[in-house]
Amino acid sequence: MSQKVIDLLNKARSRELTAISQYMAQHYELEDSDFGKLASKFKEIAIAEMKHAEKLAERILFLKGEPTSKPDGVAKKGQKVSEMLNTNMALEAAAMKMYNEAAMVCAAEKDQISKELFEELLKEEEDHFNYFENVKDHIEKLGTAYLATLVG
């Protein structure tokens, strides 16, 4: 199997570990600020990212590689809700770009299973991006009235 593919899988795993850390940190901050509905959704997305990291680790192990346990970034803390959403959209956009490119490399390396894994993750990252973008749009259009619906 290709070391190039293993390296891409580990790069993706590092990105997922960063997203997990970021979204869980935000979950705790939002929960503490009584934004329970938003906090729950961020936790749900963090758990989805955990599942991504696990799938990537399983594939790396199958290919006889060693899964990384190091995130590629550090969680930002103390942000306002709109800043959190910008941070999250940037994480998801970077992951989408990475996974799209990785799927093409896997195809060139004739590793259909890794290609399909990246395509599966890409779809889920698009869904996460879409959620963050929609919440950001609602906040921009409706302001504090919308934020009030996210408490409790």
- Per-state percent for the chain, helix, strand, coil, to nearest 5: 80, 0, 20
The pLDDT assigned to 11 comes to 98
In this structure, what are the phi and psi dihedrals at residue 58, rounded to the nearest 5 degrees? -60, -40
pLDDT tens digits along 60-97: 999 999 999 999 999 999 999 999 999 999 999 999 99
The pLDDT assigned to 152 comes to 77
Residue 92's CATH number: 1.20.1260.10
Rounded Cα–Cα distance for residues 147 and 127 (Å): 21
pLDDT tens digits along 115-125: 999 999 999 99
Parent domain of 73: 3-148
The pair of structure tokens assigned to 69 is: 């346990």
| Count of domains observed in the chain | 1
Rounded Cα–Cα distance for residues 51 and 13 (Å): 10
pTM of this structure:
0.94
